Amino acid sequence: MSTPYHHGSLRKVLLEEGRLLLAERGVAAVTLRELARRAGVSHAAPLRHFPDRGALLDAIAAEGFDELTAALVSADVPTDLHERLSVYSHTHVHFAVANAALMELMFSRDLNPASGGAAAQSAARFFTLGARLLGEPDPQALGPLPYLLTGMLEGISSLAARGRLPKERVEEITTAAVEVMLPAIHKQLRNPHTTSAV
């Protein structure tokens, strides 16, 4: 057992063990039964906190989005756009490379806010932060820029995590992505009611 279980903290232990198991063996290995075993409780005990495996995975994904959003808040400071975008992009990629399995889980969930899932709610906060940085007027009706930026950053992260991008080049390629996106974001900020900024 990696995380000691104390009475009243089972939910926390299950999430922590779930994160460890996800990183060690991938999403298929994360089951309520295995986490119960690792926590040293009965197979039925986790059901008091998570009605099924899907709810557990959703909660782990929600934690991931909350942590990523908290890390990205450092980019939301009153400096020039280039610096904000650079801090945002490098922070995003660093988090994604360090948490590759978690990121894969996060973006494999149903992130439609109407789903009511914990991951969808946490993802909405993540996308709202990015939308504000990119000058999107309505986070509920995003233009192409947040998707383009997320796609570029997730692509860089995925290449690095799979060894197809040498780790010593991650900073360089992320900086290049910032330079590619910057003109389109400047245009969006000058014309905030335009959704086709590229």
Q: What is the pLDDT along the chain (198 residues), one digit of tens a residue?
A: 455 555 568 999 999 999 999 999 999 999 999 999 999 999 899 999 999 999 999 999 999 999 999 999 877 777 788 988 999 999 999 999 999 999 999 988 888 877 778 999 999 888 888 888 877 777 677 778 888 888 899 999 999 988 999 999 999 999 999 999 999 888 877 776 554 433
Q: What whole-number distance in Å separates Cα of residue 102 and Cα of residue 169?
A: 22
Region of residue 26 (left: phi > 0; alpha: psi -120 to 50; beta: else)? left
Calpha distance 158→96 (Å, rounded): 8
Q: Which CATH number fits domain 10-48: 2.60.40, 1.20.120, 1.10.10, 1.10.3210?
A: 1.10.10
Per-residue pLDDT, 173: 97
- 59-190 falls under which CATH superfamily? Tetracycline Repressor, domain 2 (1.10.357.10)
pLDDT of residue 198: 39
CA dist 154 and 93 (Å) reads: 7
pLDDT at residue number 139: 67
Domain spans of the chain?
A: 10-48, 59-190
